[in-house]
Amino acid sequence: MTHVQSREIMRATVLTSLLLLSTAISGCLSVPVEECEGIDCFPLDSDTLSEILAAPEAFDVFSLATLNDKLRIVTTTTYEENGQFAEVHWDVAKDENTQLRSIAMRVTIGTTTIDNEAIEGKNMTNIRTNGDWYEGRDEDWQYRDPFHELAQLATQQPSGLWPPFSFDTTSIADLAWTISGDPSSTQQIASASNDTHTIIIELMGSPPRVTGIETYSGDEETFILRVSTGDLVSIQLQEGLPRTPVGFSIDPNPIQHDGITTWYGQIPMEMSTEIDPSELEFHGILTVDGEPSSVAVLYLAPSCSACVDYSTGNGAVRNITLDDGTWWHLSWIDNLYAGYFSAGDLYHISTNSTGEIDAALYDSWAQQWTGGPLAE
């Protein structure tokens, strides 16, 4: 994974493909204890805790996100089988007061680790790939609660792979709990065991609310979840980071027919950002004696009257004939989100040039190519 990747690729990875080893025992949230008040809640007795856990919605991340402007949920799941170690780590947070959100994930299988994070807000994005941070952008940023969004996506795609933010507390409600409590901090720790797992639950507040869950199955499987709210949640954007380009590159495999080479397609719907078209350029590239160079360019939103390109209300087009008589046709159709380069837009590049030819997108904001032979 290189610095060319942007928030869109990171986000698509986070939301659709990285919970490779999800556990069936996972979750978060809490419910108030109506049966006890004040000092009677410290510590809870086993029967009272069992009544709490028996509630069908004792853990409900959607409700927790609705009730809290600032929320962070962190989960770590580890596995070890036949000497093979694996770990999946998620860290999802939001701060509605500052309109910031973050999604981080780390997947380790054996000695290989993928570790990414995206912080979004204020038309700017911070993207971390392993230990390196980059700056991305979204010209039409609209805040979305990440917990609600994940819940909606999980509902739409129930067979997908998502962060483990659900927990069937009814399956452990009838256990015999050992509970200790500290009235000064309102923290309580409950522990119990069944045939397969040791379970530890942390509760905070008065009335008590669940803020942590741990499950252990010998050395083979562990699951740890932590909930933080209020001032314990902090999200910050960094400025002045190296810039990363838009997360889209042209398919390097064009169609060839009757001497015409054509690249065309749609900007993937998974790309969640909107980009100022004036910061992007489509190029036709010719490589001669191993040296690639741009021979045709389409500025998606030209701002000078001397530009040969012309823009229409729904895109831009350019036809170019070179000195050797070969031609290039480049076009972009602004399809769904008017005024932005965004998901659903269409592009079409064709040429009768022969030899080693390519088409590529250049991001002038990041001063980088997103693909093609001129990319770093």
Give mean pLDDT, residues 113-120. Answer: 94
Write the CB contacts of 46 (distance below 8 Å, at least 6 apart in sequence): 176, 177, 178, 179
On the question of pLDDT at 71 being above 50, the answer is: yes
Domain count of the chain?
2
Per DSSP, the three-state class of 8 is helix
What pLDDT digit, counting tens, does each position of 75-104 carry? 999 998 888 899 999 999 999 999 999 999
Which two three-digit tokens encode residue 26? 């996972």
Output the pLDDT for position 272. Answer: 85
3-state helix, strand, coil in the chain (%, to 5): 15, 40, 45
pLDDT of 264 higher than 50: yes
pLDDT of residue 5: 40
Domain membership flag for residue 280: yes
- Residues 57, 169 within the same domain: yes
Confidence at residue 309, expressed as pLDDT on a 0 to 100 scale = 52
What is the H or E stretch that residue 104 is in? strand 100-109
* 55 occurs within a structural domain: yes
Same domain, 181 and 56: yes
Residue 298, pLDDT > 50, answer yes
Which CATH number belongs to the domain containing residue 30 in this structure? 2.50.20
2-6, 188-192, 217-221: which has the minimum mean pLDDT? 2-6
Tell me the per-residue pLDDT of 311-369, one tens digit each, with 9 for 90 and over.
555 889 999 999 999 999 999 999 888 889 999 999 999 999 999 999 999 999 999 99
pLDDT band at 255 (very low <50, low <70, confident <90, very high): very high
Give Cα separations from 357 to 108, 112, 247, 255, 302 (angstroms).
39, 36, 22, 12, 25
Backbone angles phi, psi at 359, to 5 degrees: -130, 140
Could you tell me if 225 and 301 lie in one domain? no
User: Which domain-ending residue is among 170, 198, 232?
Assistant: 232
Q: Is residue 153 part of a domain?
A: yes
Residue 79 covered by a domain: yes
CA distance 234 to 95: 8
Confidence of residue 6 (pLDDT cuts 50, 70, 90): very low
Note the pLDDT tens digit of each residue in 303-313.
Answer: 544 454 555 55
Q: Is the pTM of this model over 0.85?
A: no
Q: Cβ(374)–Cβ(8) under 8 Å?
A: no
Residue 39 has pLDDT above 60, yes or no: no
Distance (Å, whole) CA 86 – CA 88: 7
Same structural domain, 30 and 71: yes
Which strands form 315-321's sheet, in the order they lie side by side?
255-257, 260-266, 346-351, 327-333, 315-321, 310-312
Amino acid at 244: T
Q: Looking at the structure, do residues 227 and 143 belong to the same domain, yes or no?
A: yes
Domain that holds residue 296: 255-369
Confirm whether 1 is domain-assigned.
Answer: no
**Given a cut of 60, is residue 7 above it in pLDDT?**
no
Whether residue 208 is found in the same domain as residue 283: no
